[in-house]
Amino acid sequence: MRLIAASGSQEMKNALDNEHVQKIADILLVAEKATKNIFKFVAQFLQKHDSRISASFTEDLNVLRNYGIEHQDIDDQFVLPPYLDELCLALEALYDATPTVVNFRRGAIVEVFAYRLVNSRCYDNDCLSNHRFINRANGYASDQVDVAVLSEIEKEIEGYACKLKSAGMMSVDCTNLLALSKEASALGYSAHIGAICFDPSDAIRRRLKRLSVPDLPFIEMIAPYGLDNLSDLMRSPF
């Protein structure tokens, strides 16, 4: 088994490379560890707003800016995370584009963030984003996998589909992951597949259950990673 690049559309490539996408994903990585309520707020902000032409866009952004006013320390000093201004500026800049571009950027944040989490505990070059698994011996080739892990040292394979909302998970995403798991197991690898979304894991479970059919029990095979358990991605599932 090996991995080959599958970068997708030019629009998605541009979104993944966007400096504001990268900045927001990096800040979310810090917030998820230290200030989970900020992380949750930003995740919900990205889900709620598909453009800045909204009566509540500026209002919600100001709520985030004023976060420190609502969280004072024992000396009544404002406790502002050092990255808060930078985060707000990056969010404003992220939405300074057409709705189509903004939509790609919102999805890209989930992919970049998820890649950062998984890669943090992998060997160098074992974790890659937007790649396909191929096995030349039998002609197997997966579709694009948003976050892919291939460890020849540990004989382990991981594959994750990333969506901003759990409703964005489709049967084709699930069948791609299940086929990967089956192929990996046949080759003697330990396999783990998951769905990563900015929703609670229960919402992802419900979506997987809805997509499941008797011959394809997605709910039983695909691990849900949402707002309440994203940090699990920083630990090996094996």
Domain-terminating residue out of 111, 137, 155: 111
Residues pairing with 78 in the sheet = 72
173 three-state secondary structure: helix
Domain count, the chain: 2
- Within this chain, do residues 48 and 71 fall inside the same structural domain, yes or no? yes
- Within this chain, do residues 194 and 137 fall inside the same structural domain, yes or no? yes
- Within this chain, do residues 133 and 227 fall inside the same structural domain, yes or no? yes
144 three-state secondary structure: coil
- Domain region containing 186: 124-234
Q: For residue 116, is it within any domain?
A: no
35 vs 181, which has greater pLDDT? 181
Mean of the per-residue pLDDT values of the chain: 93
pLDDT class of 53 with cuts at 50, 70, 90: confident
Residues pairing with 127 in the sheet = 149
- Within this chain, do residues 93 and 178 fall inside the same structural domain, yes or no? no
- Within this chain, do residues 86 and 55 fall inside the same structural domain, yes or no? yes
The mean per-residue pLDDT over the stretch 191-209 comes to 98
- Within this chain, do residues 129 and 107 fall inside the same structural domain, yes or no? no
100-149 tens-digit pLDDT: 999 999 999 999 999 999 999 999 999 999 999 999 999 999 999 999 99
Residues pairing with 190 in the sheet = 156
pLDDT at position 88 is 94
Q: Is residue 16 predicted with pLDDT exceeding 90?
A: yes
- Within this chain, do residues 89 and 135 fall inside the same structural domain, yes or no? no
- Within this chain, do residues 27 and 81 fall inside the same structural domain, yes or no? yes
Return the CATH number at 133.
3.40.1350
Q: Is residue 73 predicted with pLDDT exceeding 60?
A: no
Specify the pTM: 0.93
pLDDT at position 77 is 52
In degrees rounded to 5, what are phi and psi of residue 102? Answer: -60, -40
- Within this chain, do residues 54 and 106 fall inside the same structural domain, yes or no? yes
**Short-list 191, 179, 168, 162, CA closest to 216:** 179
77-104 tens-digit pLDDT: 555 677 888 999 999 999 999 999 999 9
pLDDT at position 74 is 47
Domain-terminating residue out of 79, 111, 143: 111
Given the structure tokens 């008797």, which residue do they identify? 214
Q: What percent of the chain has pLDDT over 90?
A: 84
Q: Where are the alpha helices (DSSP H) in 78-144?
A: 84-94, 99-119
- Within this chain, do residues 38 and 107 fall inside the same structural domain, yes or no? yes
Q: Is 60 exposed, middle or buried (0-12, 13-18, 19+ CB in 10 A)?
A: middle
- Within this chain, do residues 75 and 18 fall inside the same structural domain, yes or no? yes
Q: Is residue 70 predicted with pLDDT exceeding 70?
A: no
- Within this chain, do residues 198 and 129 fall inside the same structural domain, yes or no? yes
Q: For residue 117, is it within any domain?
A: no
